[in-house]
């Protein structure tokens, strides 16, 4: 059996041979930033049923029958999101990009951490909490962390029942700059389509790349999980980093068992060592 260092070394060799690589990432990449994954022991879907909180009709029902728990759900998400900052895994990816070894980051995450770390080309398949969409005219606008912190503070005031939640929606959530319509976070809930342009770009990047890093995802949510499958079918080598095996592991050419925050800096160090030897 190969040691961790041997696996990392083999991955770095492939990376240099097949640069620039594409990345396909999931919640595990942000776990070491303090954001629990969806399906882990402390995961969001362990604390809130995805049948109720993961889709729009369910959220509407939660508003009617469990408004306080719904307020808690939004608060929980904003809490972990606002406290999180990029970890060594995110930062190593951005550094690999600067070295010309990494291409686009295709992510299922809505937490903006790849971009904050300095990765300039991020394709957000499931949207972003930092962007909101008008329910009336479809216009989008960026919101700031301060806007989100203000919403979190309002939600944490005591007595967030149905009436209070409706008032918060009317008075305190972002409004469309064009038509003044109500807005919602531009994120994909279960049952909704992925943003077409982003998905199409992800498909063409998957077809183009010769190596794809699969980072911190269970790889079971489609159509997003089809991206590494497309890459594999069009000839890319797949390198997966995850403490546990998942839905895509069988297809991986190299599986490195470990966390992204630990393994990606090792991969970066090895790539730097090879680059130095070459110069």
Q: Which residues bind ligand OAD (CB under 6 A)?
A: 26-28, 31-32, 37-40, 43, 108, 126, 188, 190, 216-218, 221, 242-244, 246, 259-261
Q: How far is residue 38 from each of residues 2, 195, 259, measured CA to CA in Å? A: 30, 21, 16
Residue number, 43 or 181, with CB nearest to ligand OAD: 43
Residue 8: partners with Cβ closer than 8 Å, 6 or more residues away? 256, 263, 266, 267, 270
Which residue is at the shortest CB distance from ligand OAD? 28
Give the pair of three-digit tokens for residue 271. 């790539």
Q: How far is the CB of 88 from ligand OAD (least distance, A)?
A: 11
Q: How far is the CB of 34 from ligand OAD (least distance, A)?
A: 11
Told to judge if 114 belongs to the known catalytic residues of this protein, a careful annotator would answer no
Residue number, 176 or 268, with CB nearest to ligand OAD: 268
Catalytic residue among 90, 114, 126, 172: 126
Q: How far is the CB of 32 from ligand OAD (least distance, A)?
A: 5
Q: Quick one: which H or E segment has residue 257?
A: strand 254-257
Given a contact cutoff of 8 angstroms between Cβ atoms, the answer to whether 126 and 170 are in contact is no
Residue number, 221 or 254, with CB nearest to ligand OAD: 221
Residue number, 28 or 228, with CB nearest to ligand OAD: 28
Q: How far is the CB of 8 from ligand OAD (least distance, A)?
A: 14
Q: Can you say whether the dihedral through the CA atoms of 250, 251, 253, 258 is positive or negative?
A: negative
Q: How far is the CB of 188 from ligand OAD (least distance, A)?
A: 5
Residue number, 194 or 271, with CB nearest to ligand OAD: 194
Q: How far is residue 229 from each of residues 38, 93, 165, 166, 239, measured CA to CA in Å? A: 22, 21, 42, 43, 12
Cα 163 to Cα 184: distance, rounded to the nearest angstrom: 18
Cα 38 to Cα 45: distance, rounded to the nearest angstrom: 5
| Residues acting as catalytic residues | 126
């Amino acid at each position: 059996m190969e040691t961790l260092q041997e696996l990392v070394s083999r991955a770095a060799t492939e990376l240099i041979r097949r640069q620039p690589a594409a990345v396909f990432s999931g919640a595990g990449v942000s776990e070491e930033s303090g954001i629990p994954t969806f399906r882990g022991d402390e995961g969001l879907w362990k604390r809130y049923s995805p049948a109720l909180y993961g889709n729009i009709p369910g959220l509407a029902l939660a508003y009617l029958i469990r408004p306080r728990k719904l307020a808690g759900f939004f608060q929980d998400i904003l809490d972990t999101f606002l406290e999180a900052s990029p970890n060594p895994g995110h930062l190593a990816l951005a550094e690999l990009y600067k070295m010309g070894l990494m291409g686009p980051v295709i992510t299922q995450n809505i937490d903006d951490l790849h971009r904050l770390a300095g990765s300039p080309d991020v394709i957000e398949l499931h949207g972003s909490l930092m962007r909101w969409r008008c329910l009336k005219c479809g216009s989008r606008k960026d919101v700031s962390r301060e806007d989100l912190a203000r919403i979190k503070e309002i939600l944490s005031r005591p007595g967030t029942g149905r009436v209070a939640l409706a008032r918060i929606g009317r008075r305190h959530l972002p409004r469309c700059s064009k038509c003044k319509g109500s807005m919602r976070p531009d994120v994909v809930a279960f049952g909704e389509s992925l943003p077409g342009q982003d998905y199409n770009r992800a498909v063409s990047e998957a077809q183009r790349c010769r190596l794809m890093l699969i980072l911190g995802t269970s790889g079971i949510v489609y159509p997003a999980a089809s991206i590494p499958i497309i890459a594999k079918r069009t000839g890319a080598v797949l390198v997966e980093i995850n403490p546990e095996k998942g839905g895509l592991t069988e297809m991986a050419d190299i599986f490195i068992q470990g966390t992204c925050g630990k393994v990606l800096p090792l991969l970066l160090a090895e790539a730097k060592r090879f680059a130095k030897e070459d110069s």
